[in-house]
């Protein structure tokens, strides 16, 4: 089973990388971009076959390592 974890900064947390991308896009002539939030996607190949157990395991991974839950939110997608 494959899991895809989407990690983003929480609303209200400054995103300097997103702002740098927005500025660079403006420099390239893409003036209509008002805001950019940059995150990350982590793909995991799991040996687990039970969907509920896999989701619980991946959530635990996120809480312990994959996301800084103080400033980041995450969502888990099983594919």
> pLDDT digit string (tens) for 39-51?
999 999 999 999 9
Q: Cα angle at 13 between 69 and 27, to 5 degrees?
A: 130
pLDDT of residue 63: 98
pLDDT of residue 62: 98
pLDDT of residue 51: 97
Please, what is the end-to-end C-alpha distance for the chain in angstroms? 7
Q: What is the CATH number of the domain that holds 66?
A: 3.30.1280.10
pTM: 0.88
* Number of structural domains found in the chain: 1
Query: Can you give the residue range of the structural domain that contains 37?
Result: 2-78
pLDDT per residue as tens digits for the range 14-42: 999 999 999 999 999 999 999 999 999 99
Measured CA distances, 50 to 15, 23, 64, 73 (Å): 36, 44, 21, 24
Across 2-9, average pLDDT:
98
């Amino acid at each position: 089973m494959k899991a895809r974890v989407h990690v983003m900064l929480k609303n209200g947390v400054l995103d300097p990388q997103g702002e740098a991308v927005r500025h660079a896009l403006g420099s390239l002539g893409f003036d209509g971009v008002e805001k950019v939030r940059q995150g990350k996607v982590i793909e995991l190949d799991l040996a687990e076959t039970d969907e509920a157990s896999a989701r619980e395991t991946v959530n635990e991974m996120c809480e312990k390592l994959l996301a800084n839950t103080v400033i980041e939110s995450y969502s888990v997608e099983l594919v």
